[in-house]
Structure 1
Amino acid sequence: MRTIGIDEAKALVGEEIGLSNWRTVSQEMINQFAAATDDHQFIHTDPERAARETPYGGTIAHGFLVLSLLSTLVFEAVPTLDGAAMGVNFGFDRIRFATPVKAGARIRGRFVLAHMKVRPSGIVEMHHDVAVEIENSIKPALTARWLTLSMPERSDESAA
């Protein structure tokens, strides 16, 4: 995993800072998400019925499944800050599900560092403009403003 310093990160505000690899959203993944969330709507879990009764030609991923994949997409695409012990999800200012992700489609995450602030505590608040792209699609699956916190490593004195 690549790391960068705070000054380097500040210089990247407004710039694309990461592009993940393509990842396949399989029917098995969709089924596992349905089981975990108890959302078994046929548009996600019944390929034959979804092909007959929806405009998608088959099943589509849950929007929240695609959103949850941001965690893995960001990990492989965006550098961490030097001295950070961990990153924490702080929430979203907005999320839009623009295009359904069909079972078997490949997606990737594109991350722009939109804002960065170092708090007096040393915690770094970062806002990323995110687009989850679908291979061979003009419109993204989703767009969002994602807020994260980069937590500094604790010194031995503060750990006591």
Structure 2
Amino acid sequence: MLIINNFEEYQSHLGKELGVSNWHKIDQEQINKFADATLDHQWIHTDKERAENEGPFKATIAHGYLTLSLIPYLWKQIADVRNIKMEINYGIESFKFGQAVVVDSEVQLKAKLMSIANLRGVTKVTIEATLVIKDQPKPAYVGNVVFLYHFI
């Protein structure tokens, strides 16, 4: 795991891959809980039998927003940003979904530091986030997440 203690340490990684998370399996229980939380019960996500018989993937698939919602959890496995008063999820930019995540797939986040700026004491970073699907040639998505850090 990458440990970052201050702006200068963060900045030294500009343009570099910061690391990869552990693999995370997305099972039907997680998909169903996400459907309940978001009120999105589209059959392609929650109806196993119908998805197997009528769906293009012959199985249920994770919601695209479920896979996006994993970013904070997986990011914490890549980098430990210390000496901060606060961290804010500031934005997401230019995300493209490349491939559906079929139920019981394992996914892994790859992170690369694309930009960093000191905005009057607030550190703004843009991280390229790529969600890799185990044994698949195309990622689930690629896009940028923006964090704000208030270092002590």
The TM tier, using the shorter chain, reads: over 0.9
> Which string of whole-angstrom CA distances, capped at 9 and with x for unpartnered residues, describes residues 58-95 of structure 1?
00000000000001000111231x42122111111211
1:110 corresponds to: 110
CA distance in 2 between partners of 1:12 and 1:79 (Å) = 14
Unaligned runs of 5+ in 1: 154-160
Query: How far apart are 1:35 and its partner, in Å?
Result: 0.3
How many residue pairs get aligned? The number is: 151
Distance in 1 separating the partners of 2:30 and 2:22: 17
Give the structure with higher Rg (CA): 1
TM-score norm. by structure 2 comes to: 0.95
* Equivalent pair of 1:101/1:134 in contact (CA under 8 Å): yes
Letter of the aligned partner of 2:96 in structure 1?
R
SS in 2 for 1:35: helix
Q: Which residue of the partner structure matches residue 16 of structure 2?
A: 15
Separation (CA, whole Å) in 1 of partners of 2:80 and 2:114: 15
Equivalent residue number for residue 27 of structure 2: 26
Secondary structure of 2:57's aligned partner:
coil
Q: Match of 1:15, as an amino acid?
A: K
Percent identity of paired positions between Structure 1 and Structure 2: 33
The letter of the residue matching 1:128 is I
Write the letter of the residue equivalent to 2:106. R
1:46 aligns with 2:47: yes
Mapped to 1, the partners of 2:60 and 2:36 lie a distance apart of: 15
Corresponding letter in the other structure for 1:142:
Y
Distance 2:7 2:116 in 1: 9
The structure carrying a bigger strand percent of its residues is 2
Q: Is the 8 A contact 1:126 1:149 kept in 2?
A: yes
Unaligned 5+ runs, structure 2:
none
Cα distance in 2, alignment partners of residues 131 and 53 from structure 1: 29
RMSD of equivalent CA atoms: 1.2
Counterpart of 1:156 in structure 2 is none
Aligned to 1:70: 71
The TM-score, its normalising length taken from structure 1, stands at: 0.90
Contact map agreement 1:109 1:130 (CA 8 A) in 2: yes
Describe the SS at the equivalent of 2:150: strand
Structure 1 CA distance for aligned equivalents of residues 14 and 7 of structure 2: 11
